[in-house]
Structure 1
Amino acid sequence: MKRRFFLRSCGAGAVLLAGGLSHELQAAIRRNPDKIKPIEGSWFEFQHHNMAEGKYWDATLKSFTAKQWEMKVKETADCGIRYLVLLDVAINGKTFYPSSLQPQHEMGCDDPLETILSAADKYGVDFFISNDYFGDYKNPYFLMTDPEINKLRLKGMNEIAEKYAHHKSFYGWYYPNETGITGYYDDFFIDYVNASSAEAAKLTPKAKTLIAPYGTRNVKADDQFTRQLEKLNVDFIAYQDEIGVEKTQVEESAGYFEQLYRVHKKASRARLWADVEIFRFEGEIYQSALLPAPAERIVRQLEAVSPFVEKILVYQYPGLLNKPGSQVFAGHPDSEILYKELYKHKVLNNK
């Protein structure tokens, strides 16, 4: 069922006409008809895993010095972002930090991971640190099931914890390997998440854990899915809204997240967040550069998920958002326009 949420322009009445909402949510919307949750987090990266998609910022980020990385973290903190999610600590057989496990990428900074965590300590940002991609990210099934890769991942987590877990900004772990939800989570995905969380608990007992699955529109929010959520050992699940990859229309998104709200409430385990895609493609999906999406579309995306989720994260600040006049500009020129528009709508810099 398609439902359009005009929380700001039409008020609570339009939302209630959509039908199917729980009494609790209807009451919440009546109390706050104009409420859009601010953007509180974003993915973050040293290099984009898909070269075509990172066309407008990869070369710039590769040359960033330690000072520039610090300034970029400060820029995100200044716009009200509290959480950053590091997409990967390694890719294409090389790491983004000094490692005994794989050679290191040549960057303009000797240890980007140390640099961003030190900056996050200073500016009050909490980081979820990735525990992958120590193998080919394009083959997630292999990465999640191969015994040797699993051993390498756990070694990587141990190495990262030893080097960086002392930072107060080391808030948690992010598990980037994904398979699409086709009604339910794959069993091997649950095993991968739970094995990662078991190791995280040994290494960093206070650290939180995060996943961001896709296939949101395909979730069967029934008892079987509830049982899977109860089994899944993770603190936060930020489901992708899949607007940017054109799998879901904005007017459908609220319906999917309302179903997730209900099933997460029933499972009473992982907390429900949103991963809102603020990009569009320059050309063919997955084969061309990511561009900032129109602000009007993004605001409607935020409106759609706000009644149902605890926090909203976006994919992603690097490359798609830049503060006007930024001294560490990286990305498409329209990223400044998008920043100004989202600031105007009070979803950025909402401190």
Structure 2
Amino acid sequence: MKKNFLRLLLSFSIMLVTLPAVTICAGNDASGKQKKEKTEASDLGVKPITGTWINLAYKDVRNKYTNPQSFDNTDPELWKAKVRELSAMGIEYLVFMEVANEGKAYYPSKLMPWWYDKDKQSPVESILDEAARHNMRIFMSTGWAKDQDDNLLDPAIKQRQLQMMEELAALYKNHKAFYGWYLPVEDCLCPIFAEHAVQSANALTEKAKALTPGKKTLISPYGIGLSEFDNPEYEKQLAKLKVDIIAYQDEVGCVRDKFMLPRLKKTWQRLRDIHNRLNIEMWANCETFTWEQGTNDRTSALIPAAYPRLLSQQVAASAAGVDKIISFMFCGIIENPESNYQLGQPVWSNKVYNDYMDWKSRAEYWQLAEAAFMERLANGATAEMMSGRPELKALLDGRVAEEDSKDTRWVKFGKGYHEFVVDLQKKTKLQKAVLRMLNYNLDGIGMPLKVYLFTSSDGKEYKLASIKDAPHFPNNKHDAWIESLLFDRLDENVRYVKVAFEAPQQVYIDEFFVNPVIR
């Protein structure tokens, strides 16, 4: 095929590009019939997300989509529906972020007035009852004594938390769904866990054990990106804690670093080593969100991150051996498009739902992406099969890069037209191929609009075998993540494979897997 014809084809395709349509019925096959969905964990040991927080209070613009201000968020029917949806997604643990705010309660309190209509069931009770129907487990909150900025050093705040705990225990300690307590002691592990935070957590734990023997206690501190793991006091402070579970915020959504994921992998390993000497479970609190405007800004809404970023977070936590993965925010970030109560950013919260559920059902696309993150995807081609410039050989060397534009394993392509050719050296049955690319808008690194795959028997005459749209996800103001493009159902006996694309900006590729095999 002549190059000028290919350029014309590429240009025509670019003119036709629109935003991708979102599949409304997740889990349907090509005929529209509902597939039986598997929900078991990954064959490679990557853990699914099995817990999430429930947020009852609209606090600020961060809740713009997750808990909109414009409707009654105390409606018991809304929360029953959301609990059912979360259960269907495989969520087993629900954690109340708060059961009171600004001096008013979301449960039938005698300490303070109520936020909800007294003629309706309280949101706390509706969530507890629906969770029990689905054999889910609830962590009850001890906050907020005042609001989201509760000062743990304030004696009045501490006293009100203890009073709330007594009242909640009297109401719900025998409820089937009541599993434990979430202690809102979200202090920073920077550089170590502060003594006042340790004492606050222990005081609440002591009260919890006295009121509800056998119930678990959980905290979820932040700051692992600022932790001094080599400081002997770091482990000593954690060893003082009497809690049962620490669910560390992974801070990927908060963009603690420019490229958080490479360091996070090492961080989880360090924490696992510490927890092996502690009698405390280690959970990962994977952040599913990114930001509509500025990061870590109360005037910026939380919106869903691309699922490949979250999958990499799951892989990092699982590889380190965390006990469970939960998430600060599922509800309003990852939303079932068939819900009667659709919270979340329009379109893209549904897209992430479909991607996550496809991963859980072991769709081939996500199995291959996951295996590549785990460095368990073997390439059926080798570096000497790459034609052209020497640096292109890295595309077949079996080495994958990380979410960092400075990783030397990325092969860089500038704006414009590009192609490369793989000589398989003999007639080979080509069945599938995977192209891995970095998406990092802040450095001007993104996707080609379409990628073309050609095949040939003699290296002279090429046949167009497949055209694929590159993945598109618009919530890319802050994050770096790795996308995969799968060419499947090829089933051709060929010797040469050519990949071509027109890049509207820089494109970074680390590997072109030919007939990949999961090890």
Q: TM-score range by the shorter chain?
A: 0.7 to 0.9
Alpha-carbon offset, residue 136 of structure 1: 3.4
For residue 7 of structure 2, what is the aligned residue in structure 1?
A: none
Alpha-carbon offset, residue 276 of structure 1: 0.4
- The structure in which a higher percent of residues are strand is 2
1:97-176 matches, cutoff 5 A: 97-106=107-116, 109-138=120-149, 140=150, 142=151, 144-176=152-184
Matched position secondary structure for 2:325: strand
Amino acid at match of 1:42: T
1:1-351 matches, cutoff 5 A: 34-49=44-59, 51-56=60-65, 57-59=67-69, 62-63=72-73, 65-106=75-116, 109-138=120-149, 140=150, 142=151, 144-222=152-230, 223-248=232-257, 249-266=260-277, 268-285=278-295, 286=297, 287-308=299-320, 309-333=322-346, 334-346=348-360
Uncovered stretches (5+) of structure 1, i.e. residues with no partner: 1-31
The superposition leaves residues 65-117 of structure 1 with CA deviations (integer Å, 9 ceiling, x where unpaired) of: 32232121111111111011110111122211121222221469541111100
Uncovered stretches (5+) of structure 2, i.e. residues with no partner: 1-41, 363-519
**Residues 311, 73 of structure 1: CA spacing in aligned structure 2 closer, same or farther, 3 A cutoff?**
same
CA contact (8 A) 1:278 1:298 kept: yes
Distance 2:87 2:147 in 1: 32
Alpha-carbon offset, residue 33 of structure 1: 8.7
For residue 14 of structure 1, what is the aligned residue in structure 2?
A: none
- The structure in which a higher percent of residues are helix is 1
Distance 1:186 1:283 in 2: 31
Quick one: higher RCO (CA 8 Å, sep 6+), 1 or 2? Answer: 1
Distance 1:221 1:106 in 2: 45
Aligned length: 312
CA contact (8 A) 1:47 1:61 kept: no
CA contact (8 A) 1:46 1:62 kept: no
RMSD of aligned Cα (Å): 1.9
Distance 2:302 2:202 in 1: 32
State the percentage of identical aligned residues.
33
Alpha-carbon offset, residue 174 of structure 1: 0.3
**Residues 274, 347 of structure 1: CA spacing in aligned structure 2 closer, same or farther, 3 A cutoff?**
farther
Amino acid at match of 1:160: L
Alpha-carbon offset, residue 61 of structure 1: 6.4
The superposition leaves residues 267-298 of structure 1 with CA deviations (integer Å, 9 ceiling, x where unpaired) of: x2111100000000100122211001011111
Distance 1:102 1:253 in 2: 42
Distance 2:242 2:353 in 1: 35
Amino acid at match of 2:287: E
Alpha-carbon offset, residue 303 of structure 1: 1.0
Distance 2:58 2:311 in 1: 25
Matched position secondary structure for 1:306: helix
- Segment drifting more, 59-68 vs 296-305: 59-68
CA contact (8 A) 2:218 2:246 kept: yes
Matched position secondary structure for 1:321: coil
Matched position secondary structure for 1:299: helix
Distance 1:44 1:68 in 2: 12
Amino acid at match of 2:179: Y
- Segment drifting more, 171-180 vs 200-209: 171-180
- Segment drifting more, 216-225 vs 126-135: 216-225
Amino acid at match of 1:341: D
Distance 2:224 2:361 in 1: 23
Amino acid at match of 2:281: R
Amino acid at match of 1:180: C
Alpha-carbon offset, residue 347 of structure 1: 8.0
**Residues 137, 65 of structure 1: CA spacing in aligned structure 2 closer, same or farther, 3 A cutoff?**
closer
Distance 2:214 2:71 in 1: 31
**Residues 329, 109 of structure 1: CA spacing in aligned structure 2 closer, same or farther, 3 A cutoff?**
farther
Alpha-carbon offset, residue 176 of structure 1: 1.4
Matched position secondary structure for 2:156: helix
Distance 2:71 2:171 in 1: 23
For residue 415 of structure 2, what is the aligned residue in structure 1?
A: none
- Segment drifting more, 257-266 vs 321-330: 321-330
Distance 1:116 1:160 in 2: 14
